[in-house]
Amino acid sequence: MSDTHDEVFGDDELGTGLLEEELRQAAAILDPVPAELRRIAVDAFALHDLDARVAELTFDSLVDALPVRGATDPPRMLTFRADDVTVDVEVTEDGLIGQLLPPGPADVEVLSGPRAHALLTADDLGRFTGEAPPTGPFALRLRTGSDVVVTEWLRA
């Protein structure tokens, strides 16, 4: 093939890099990534925690509990477990109430996709509360010193 072909089609390494950059610039102008989608992607990447342990859902009152007669809107009770860590959460129309076992202080983030994360604090007994209930898919990320535990994602 001729040198002209290489220059036009970018068959060499430098030409390929220039072509890719020109295509990126054209795409950014002609078909930009919506700001909300970019924020969701950044949030999803931020959720990737290599050192985090995933706490699996072991109890969900929507699935595992027996219905109570007369209870019109009972709170949703959830239990997550990761090795020796248990997180009990009650989801009500008023918010979240939870406890971390073994008890101890922790930073708790209510992850909810593209929305801003609610930051809660567990006290010395592992108790935490949040005033706003999750309205869509959510998960919890707990930081206890150097330990990070992330729950499975659930729909509120």
The confidence score (pLDDT) of residue 33 equals: 81
The verdict on pTM exceeding 0.95 is no
Looking at residue 50, its pLDDT comes to 60
Q: What amino acid occupies position 102?
A: P
Nearest CA among 25, 23, 27, 152 for reference residue 81: 152
Mean pLDDT within 134-138? 83
- pLDDT confidence tier of residue 113, bands split at 50, 70 and 90: low
**138: nearest Cα among 106, 105, 96:** 96
Residue 95 DSSP symbol: E
Omega of the bond leading into 137 within 30 degrees of 0 (cis) = no
CA distance 9 to 144: 54
Average predicted confidence (pLDDT) for the chain? 82
